[in-house]
């Protein structure tokens, strides 16, 4: 219920927030609650990924990407996510999730979620995702065009493209293993 409450709270506050440019950073403010903690009494690694979902929903709503997805009869799907944990977030501490678009390729859109406390990054979640419709994946170029963005992605850092390539490699390996098992 804790996460549902946070999601509903974010949605209730949504009508009074200004729209955001797709290249801007959106910010959601939160606090660490008891159900966020692991046995070490800090936010559990898995919770970062779940909280990133709320930051991503806020970003998709504020930038208008949600309306664009509806026009394409598509839903957002996370394909891969990666996390980097740098500092603890402890019980009752407040923090912010800063979400921004890093870029896109022919298939994937890449978002970054930074967990910020007192101006310092406590953790980061990177994800690549798609908008999927009944007819298949909607190309990111179609989504960004609807949002008034250039069809060409900004240059992405080499670590991001290397990570994406490694995810593709893992997917190929899994497909090969499944084919060999048949």
Model pTM? 0.90
**DSSP 8-state class, residue 153:** P
In the chain the domains, ranked by start, together with CATH numbers, are 2-181 (3.10.129.10)
Residue among 37, 155, 166, 20 at smallest CA distance from 100: 20
**pLDDT tens profile 50-100:** 999 999 999 998 998 988 999 999 999 999 999 999 999 999 999 999 999
Q: What is the dihedral of CA 27, 61, 50, 8, to 10 degrees?
A: 100
**pLDDT tens profile 2-36:** 677 777 777 776 655 678 888 999 999 999 999 99
């Amino acid at each position: 219920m804790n996460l549902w409450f946070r999601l509903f709270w974010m949605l209730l506050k949504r009508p009074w927030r200004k729209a955001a440019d797709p290249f801007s950073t959106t910010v959601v403010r939160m606090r660490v609650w008891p159900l966020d903690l692991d046995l070490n009494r800090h936010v559990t690694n898995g919770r970062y990924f779940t909280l990133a979902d709320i930051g991503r929903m806020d970003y998709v709503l504020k930038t208008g990407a949600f309306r664009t997805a509806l026009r394409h009869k598509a839903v957002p799907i996370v394909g891969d996510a990666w996390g980097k944990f740098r500092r603890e977030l402890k019980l009752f501490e407040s923090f912010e999730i800063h979400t921004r678009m890093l870029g896109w390729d022919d298939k994937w859109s890449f978002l970054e979620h930074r967990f910020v406390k007192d101006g310092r990054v406590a953790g980061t979640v990177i994800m690549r995702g798609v908008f999927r419709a009944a007819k298949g994946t909607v190309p990111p170029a179609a989504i960004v065009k609807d949002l008034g963005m250039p069809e060409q992605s900004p240059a992405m850092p080499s670590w991001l493209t290397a990570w994406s390539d490694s995810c593709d490699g893992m997917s190929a390996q899994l497909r090969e293993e499944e084919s060999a098992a048949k």
